[in-house]
Amino acid sequence: MNAARLLAAVALCVPALPGQILDPALLGKPATDAWPTYYGDYSGRRFSTLKQINQSNVKAMTLAWITRFTPGPMGATAIGGLGTDAIPAGGNEFGGFIIKATPLMVNGVLYFAAPDNAWAVDARTGRELWHYFWKTTGGIHIGNRGVGIYGNWLYFETPDNYLVSLDARTGKERWHIQIADVKQEYFSTVAPIIVGNHVMVGTGGDSLDVPGFLEAVDPETGAIQWKWWTAPLKKGDPGSETWPDENSMRHGGGMTWIPGTYDPDLRLYYIGTGNPNPVETGRGREGDNLWTCSIVALNIDTGKIAWYYQVSPHDTHDWDATETPVLIDGTFQGRPRKMLAQASRNGYFFLLDRTNGEHLVTAPMIETMNWSKGLNAKGQPVPNPAKESTVDGVLVSPPSGGATNWPPPSFDPETGLLYVGTSESYSVFYLTDTDPHPEGYGAAERGAGGFGGTVRAIDYKTGKTVWSHHWPSGGGGAAGMLTTAGKLLFTGDPVQHLVAFDVTSGKILWHAGLTANVSNGPVTYLLDGQQYLVVGAGDSLYAFTVEP
């Protein structure tokens, strides 16, 4: 079948609501018969109210379908981009092609992305409906977190820093805009989040001391509506007093490479920012280095800061604070609060009042952590100077990969527990650039072993671990989390299994062997009256269900 006929056939196969594929009202509701955004809804909780699959029948859950995907131009039904057809070697930091994206599901169709590629898949059968390929001009192909959807349009970011808009029905490109210059070693991995008529676009960067930013663009045209820089740009700007000079600010880092969350009542968008540059040394950038390694609340219409909380002032170990800012509505010390929780890469759990950034709780997540001397009056960790990189090397936990990292946690409002994958390990940090003003990476790091990975259930009110499950085979917390009203927690272990836990006790109730480790966050949805669970592992998507 030629490409034109195939595209026409695909268009007939994709169901659609009258006028548009996605009803925007779904974005603000708990995910049930759709999974319309990266976290399922705006809260970042990754909790589903579905309970057709539950503790009583999860042992009967079986594979509904599995589909393996091949990136690249071969077989693509639509092609765009500005480079060649060549696929960069390596694929990502693990080698090969790995699905890190959280699939979206709307009207019986799954949508997901990988570096330079986007797909639409029949959610009932796993059959590929269309495949878009972007001809790249370069960039680091470390992974892609997924797509955003607005009406009939899809949005995804490319490693060479373009935002691409596609027709969700056919995969045909509508337009693309440049986000940043790949020659400055920016690279883009984030899943766009759609809030009203704003497409939220972030980016990553590597070692060339470039500043981070977040921007909102128009979903119809791609025109920039506002742009917020993660460090001040000149002397006198708010936050500039936390940097020694203008040069250090303009090369200060603070990337925005994980999607944020949103409170529609407060009209605030919450996002975590990355580490400051130079990396793994504080030389040449004395001060707290705002707004790196921070949780920031931005006005969705203007991009202006409403409040911020810096979880690692003057970070010197590459501990991005980009981990999911989870929104929690509950009680704290006897009264209702609108809160925000983050299990952060530096090894601490934080709880804040999300209306104003007031600090509520800070608690350590891992037992091996050795870099902090305690907390200051604001609840921020106080670094131990003896754990700064040295020429001879110093042993630090956690390493730069963190006590946790990008795989999303889950919060279950019925248990009041935040579930997160953690890693207890060490690295030796060696100072490699002794210049007073280093550039790029000022230190090198060598892994020194550890005790593997642990799933933790954390009480949001105290930060204390209620239960934990240590993986005896070792390995870190590399899989995302999903909780459901069926009283189940789904995640992956380090030896190629999808696992279901009892959310209250941590008892394993079910597991299934896969062909690779779980590589994204699981999602669930109700389709034709039947609940499905979909997860990525390596180059494949797996769908599980319990037959009625």
Q: For the residues of 209-247, what is the DSSP string, one character each?
A: -PBPEEEEE-TTT--EEEEEESS--STTSTTGGGSSSHH
Task: Please tell me the distance from the alpha carbon of residue 303 to that of residue 274, in angstroms, as a whole number.
Answer: 18
Q: Which residues 6+ apart lie within 8 Å of 482 measured at CB? A: 46, 47, 48, 410, 489, 490, 491, 521, 522, 523, 524, 533
Active-site residue, selected from the candidate residues 116, 209, 315, 318: 318
**Are 350 and 309 within 8 A, CB to CB?**
yes
Task: Please tell me the distance from the alpha carbon of residue 381 to that of residue 377, in angstroms, as a whole number.
Answer: 10
What are all long-range contacts of 431-435, with beta carbons under 8 Å and residues at least 24 apart? 431/281, 431/388, 431/389, 431/390, 431/391, 433/278, 433/281, 433/283, 434/391, 435/283, 435/284
Q: Which residues 6+ apart lie within 8 Å of 32 measured at CB? A: 48, 49, 50, 525, 526
**How many other CB atoms sit within 10 Å of the CB of residue 110?**
24
Q: Shortest CA distance to 502 belongs to which of 513, 481, 487, 517?
A: 487
User: What's the distance, CA 319 to chain centroid?
Assistant: 15
End-to-end CA distance of the chain: 37
Per the DSSP assignment, residues forming a β-bridge with 117 are: 114, 133
Token pair recorded at residue 542: 């797996």
**Are 50 and 484 within 8 A, CB to CB?**
yes
Question: How many residues are given for the chain?
Answer: 548
Task: Please tell me the distance from the alpha carbon of residue 410 to that of residue 408, in angstroms, as a whole number.
Answer: 7
Q: Which residues 6+ apart lie within 8 Å of 498 measured at CB? A: 490, 491, 492, 511, 512, 514, 518, 522, 535, 537, 542, 544
CA atoms within 13 A on the CB side of 321: 31
3-state DSSP percent of the chain in helix, strand and coil, to 5: 5, 40, 55
Residue 318 falls in the annotated catalytic set: yes
**What is the rounded radius of gyration, in angstroms, for the C-alpha atoms of the chain?**
22
Question: Which amino acid, 489?
Answer: L
220 burial type by CB count under 10 A (0-12 exposed, 13-18 middle, 19+ buried) = middle
**How many other CB atoms sit within 10 Å of the CB of residue 68?**
11
- The helix/strand/coil state of 8 is helix
Token pair recorded at residue 85: 């057809």
**Are 60 and 52 within 8 A, CB to CB?**
no
Evaluated on CA atoms 493, 495, 499, 501, the torsion sign reads negative
Active centre residues (catalytic): 318
